[in-house]
Structure 1
């Protein structure tokens, strides 16, 4: 178990050397607080584990998890590459300082305009379908144009059905049974296919599905290498590495995991005579998920048919509990060592019955004015936030060795009207 919870001598939650209570005094609530050192440590833990067993290894940060420019700059400085799934993520990555050769674009159901834009940036395109291949061939000169393909193996895993991205129900990638023919088709068009990619799901703590997916991908790549005469520059195993959200969950043993995955990878390279292509993986949640907290103030304690604690954040701020039924550990930040004495529902401020951060959660006695710290809020948190109920999005701050800085300003009511235009006839 490792929920990355630290408590200082005042019994307050400590985030990156800063007292959570002091932070909200300065910046207000709700507030996302990101620990810079934790991101750097997470990246280097993965990189060190894999390069111990396979030297030509690259981490592609799955930036849909968190596209804050400061977060991306931290990872750029550490040497990360980028897994981008939209033209906007490509644009953001370049703005954050990533050179095009460090970005892999894997889109699905993309338009011709999006393909053209991505082509103009110079990043490598990882194609999701035969449709994309045919359309790209009309937009660029295929002669020696490097591409990759996402393959959908008959393996899927994830913490929620919406997060399973492999198998018969998945919308992603080309079928493994057609892979060799698709690569042949691409070569006949003049393209130079240099990579293969897969991704089976998200939030995976059991390494077995990932090991099976790796073996499957390597078998598909071996078949393509031999039957379509493809010399791979890289093989991308995708992402999905999970973190423990609940106290009873165990952290992924990254060293053992890296040893097992690289063992499969190298064994299959030898079996099929595929040389030594680069190995890519695409962690997102693992790098940033446990590096952030959402701090939110208790404004209401209400005994109705159930006991509710109401806070000043909602699913517009953190969507995962409402969307996926996800568990996020909650600590009373101003009395973090107090024992739980009752089961409480923690409710947000959105006008929806589903706006709950927790149901029947064991917590200490909570009073109005207390500060709650919602943990593991670095991935798919702010990036999925909205202005629903006309609530401005919250601020983000970065903490480094106790010092804090604003990295995203809190929105105001005026931001709710950004880009809106009232026709003149409606102003009369």
Structure 2
């Protein structure tokens, strides 16, 4: 099975007349269609809401699209909260899930009326001291410890994670928070990352549903929502089948009816905070081949680098590559596709079978719509690229301009004796 880009060679050739490579490109049609599918998959739950993980793609134009589908923002920092506020999200549509949280961030989240999701038992007193009260609606993050395993071999290790509270801490936290004035409660957990299986959310939901039944019995708290967090992944490699959100939603529905409805908790709302599933496949990095090198291996140098997409460099993550205009050509060449950073890990692909690449060819690096641009950086003085939106009518809109040297040097302005000039 081959991954097909959502943009064609002719479209890219037209785009680069205005916006030079490299750039991140997002597919508005794909984003909207996926948002509708997510809403439909959980329509059985009247209170359902997706709180998009802002860290995945922190762009106001993207957030405003999702806002049209009544989605909210999952924020984890002061600036992400600022972004959500600036886009017009009210407090009910902002989930603040942070860890090792500075006091000013808790204060700002409370000022916005955001739902605060406490990561640790000790944060109860810290929050109260910071804002002078405990909010009426509060959430707590749960960590079951041990190893989380699915039948298809996917594993993760919550016991080695810095996030969340133990069950005993969670029970005690609910009691204390209730005594301090909290009236409505939620539970949150994240147990596995980028799962490409329809099994993950239903299994997680089952564990959390059983947990809140126990919490209800032992604390008497009014539990209003369960946040399944993220973890629903995408198939980065072309040999995997994508998750089916309709099947996932129905799997959660089944657990809901089996566990919560008999316990008198049939009015609990389901929240999610997906990033990768919401945006990953609907973004790509478009770059141009500018050099070739023939030594002990064959190299293709492109005008993007790990500063534009760092996942392959730091994780060894696979991102599929399409050479535009050569989609049907045989993949009979083996290349390392590299960027220009002074780091040997600055490679988008290693020993990748691709069609013969000529200088000037455009390469689409797939699945960069989440954790792509957002993880960019300025090592070697490299500048982050533009972000473009391929609109439903085929036109292109710049939704973030490319950085300039002036941006890079702007923070030196405090030094009167130094002026950077061209």
Matched, 1:357 2:348: yes
User: Which residue pairs with 2:5 in the alignment?
Assistant: 5
How many aligned positions are there? 414
User: Which residue pairs with 1:224 in the alignment?
Assistant: 215
User: Which residue pairs with 2:172 in the alignment?
Assistant: 181
Matched, 1:101 2:65: no
Alignment of 1:197-208 (within 5 A): 197-208=188-199
Distance 2:201 2:110 in 1: 31
User: Which residue pairs with 1:337 in the alignment?
Assistant: 328
User: Which residue pairs with 1:16 in the alignment?
Assistant: none
Distance 2:47 2:30 in 1: 25
Cα pair distance change 1:2/1:254, threshold 3 Å: farther
Could you state the TM-score of these two structures normalised by the residue count of structure 1? 0.91
User: Which residue pairs with 2:234 in the alignment?
Assistant: 243
For residues 144-191 of structure 1, the C-alpha deviation after alignment (integer angstroms, 9 at most, x for no partner) is 632111111245479xxxx99861101111112332111112112222
For residues 229-264 of structure 1, the C-alpha deviation after alignment (integer angstroms, 9 at most, x for no partner) is 011111111111111111101111222111111211
User: Which residue pairs with 2:40 in the alignment?
Assistant: 48
Distance 2:401 2:149 in 1: 36
Given that 2:22 and 2:286 are in contact with CA atoms closer than 8 Å, whether structure 1 keeps it comes out as yes
Measured after TM superposition, the shift of residue 42 of structure 1 is 0.9
Distance 1:410 1:164 in 2: 39
For residues 314-348 of structure 1, the C-alpha deviation after alignment (integer angstroms, 9 at most, x for no partner) is 11000111111111110111333222111111011
Which of 29, 36, 58 is the equivalent residue of 2:21?
29
User: Which residue pairs with 1:408 in the alignment?
Assistant: 400
Distance 1:237 1:278 in 2: 11
Measured after TM superposition, the shift of residue 143 of structure 1 is 6.2
User: Which residue pairs with 1:398 in the alignment?
Assistant: 389
Cα pair distance change 1:82/1:156, threshold 3 Å: farther
Distance 1:195 1:166 in 2: 23
Distance 1:148 1:399 in 2: 37
Matched, 1:307 2:319: no
Distance 1:2 1:394 in 2: 27
Per mean C-alpha deviation after superposition, the further-off stretch among 391-400 and 268-277 is 268-277
Q: Secondary structure at the match of 1:171?
A: coil
Measured after TM superposition, the shift of residue 192 of structure 1 is 2.6
Measured after TM superposition, the shift of residue 90 of structure 1 is 1.2
Cα pair distance change 1:75/1:361, threshold 3 Å: same
Measured after TM superposition, the shift of residue 196 of structure 1 is 1.0
For residues 13-46 of structure 1, the C-alpha deviation after alignment (integer angstroms, 9 at most, x for no partner) is 7xxxxx1222123210111111111111111111
Distance 2:290 2:180 in 1: 63
